[in-house]
Structure 1
Amino acid sequence: MSPAARTPAALAPSSGRRRRAPARTPPRRPAPAVPRHYLSLKGAETVPLPWFADLARGLEQTADQRAIMCLSGNAGVGKTFALDTVLAAKPRPARRARLGRLVPRPAPTPLSLRSDLADALNLEAPPKDPRAFDAALREVLAARDHLLVVDEAQRLDGVCFEYLRYLFDDPRARLAIVLVVGERGRAVLRRQKMLVSRTGVSLQIPLLTSADVAEVIPRFHPLWHEADRDALERLDAHWCHGNFRRWAQATHHALRLLRHTSARHGPAPHPLLEDVLDATWQPREDLQ
């Protein structure tokens, strides 16, 4: 075979038109994680609350010390949203850590927890052989800093907490853990004595006060920009009870009903929303 015949076609001289090299498409960068407002509420703004700074400092301390942090609060106060907001800003040194997120399935077992950890940390090896998986997982946790966020951590039982302790106590592990629980879940965590002794930061997220409502809600959504303080206080006392998720629900329902009213009767002045919401929304529910 002649040298010319061995030349690859892409490198061989062309007897006719020169073949253009295909244009190179720049690699896509993954979109940054943007926290999603409840009900994907259009027009909603992220309003930093006073305790956001405490959360950022707690995350920084937890990641820096490779410790455990407990984040608790009533359902709907904004724990997960706030956590996502602060993590998106990547406070130091948490930004150096590889982030893993998991929500344990109901009544988890150590095997299912291993499977969830494999998904959260993008591990290739499935946990078919627990001993081999644990060895591989410990090598991964020793290789670089990791920040593991466990939402709904109150679902874990004593055996699963012991497994997390086993990983956390490995002297080579570069692991920090954030446990997120509802208000009733705090009692579950307090029963784990080994957890209490290893917790460096414990932060309880409060409900909105009247002053918070007056300051935050007009900035949260354009619907409330012109609302007076007395109207906001009445809405909060009757429906929302200082709960941010309830305020998102109230905003969603009010916008839907206002659009419906406008379609039927034409544009109308901004009504007092107690009357609009009263017809369709139960004012009270258990928020624990």
Structure 2
Amino acid sequence: MTEVVGQAMAAQGAVCVFGDAGRGKTAAVRMALGEVPPGCKMSWMPVPVRASVAGMRRALFDALALPGRFPHTSARADAAIVGALGEARVLVVDEAQRLPVPCLEYLQSLWDHPGMQVTLVLCGAGSERTLVSVIRIVGTRPSS
């Protein structure tokens, strides 16, 4: 696990950690991320039940510990989130199997944004089935 997560961080890619419920995925990811390189931040975002894109924005804003109040417009919230993801960071999305396709596409749009230095770790029981419909999110960022 540590090697796979390390490779994803080196490539600023994405990795999906999946398996049956209660099998230690979250603990394994926490252990694998115990040696995040200096200067690289780590954020842990639990996926809300019945996630929506608006809810994802709020959850990301909170997980990234962005200063100030949550913006009133999606454009301002996205700008703040994109700014934070421009710094070297590992973003763990826990319970990723709850993500509907629009939320996965939102994550992909953030990840594909020029200048992003984010590694995505999608973690959850059954999350691999959720990602099949948006499989292009898993891999490495397109070259610019």
> What TM-score do the two structures reach when normalised by structure 1?
0.46
C-alpha contact (below 8 Å) 2:45/2:63 kept by paired residues: yes
C-alpha contact (below 8 Å) 2:43/2:63 kept by paired residues: yes
3-state SS of paired residue (2:120): strand
C-alpha contact (below 8 Å) 1:70/1:199 kept by paired residues: no
Match for residue 111 of structure 2 among 168, 188, 192? 168
Partner of residue 188, structure 1 = 130
C-alpha contact (below 8 Å) 1:73/1:79 kept by paired residues: yes
Deviation for aligned residue 1:116? 0.5
Partner of residue 100, structure 1 = 43
Partner of residue 13, structure 2 = 67
The separation in 2 between residues aligned to 1:147 and 1:71, in whole angstroms, is 14
The separation in 1 between residues aligned to 2:122 and 2:131, in whole angstroms, is 9
Percent identity reads: 29
Deviation for aligned residue 1:181? 1.7
Matched, 1:139 2:79: no
C-alpha contact (below 8 Å) 1:114/1:127 kept by paired residues: no
The separation in 1 between residues aligned to 2:84 and 2:94, in whole angstroms, is 22
Over aligned residues, Cα RMSD in angstroms? 1.5
Gaps of 5+ in 1: 1-54, 201-288
1:10-25 map, 5 Å: none
Deviation for aligned residue 1:120? 0.7
C-alpha contact (below 8 Å) 2:53/2:106 kept by paired residues: yes
Matched, 1:199 2:139: yes
Higher relative contact order (CA 8 A, sep 6+): 2
Larger radius of gyration, structure 1 or 2?
Answer: 1
3-state SS of paired residue (1:112): helix
Partner of residue 100, structure 2 = 157
Matched, 1:77 2:17: no
Residue-pair matches, total: 139
Moved beyond 6 Å, runs of 4+:
none
1:218-257 map, 5 Å: none
Gaps of 5+ in 2: none
C-alpha contact (below 8 Å) 2:97/2:130 kept by paired residues: yes
1:205-239 Cα distance to aligned partner (Å, 9 max, x none) = xxxxxxxxxxxxxxxxxxxxxxxxxxxxxxxxxxx
The separation in 1 between residues aligned to 2:41 and 2:105, in whole angstroms, is 22
Structure ranking higher in strand proportion: 2
> What TM-score do the two structures reach when normalised by structure 2?
0.89
The separation in 2 between residues aligned to 1:140 and 1:152, in whole angstroms, is 22
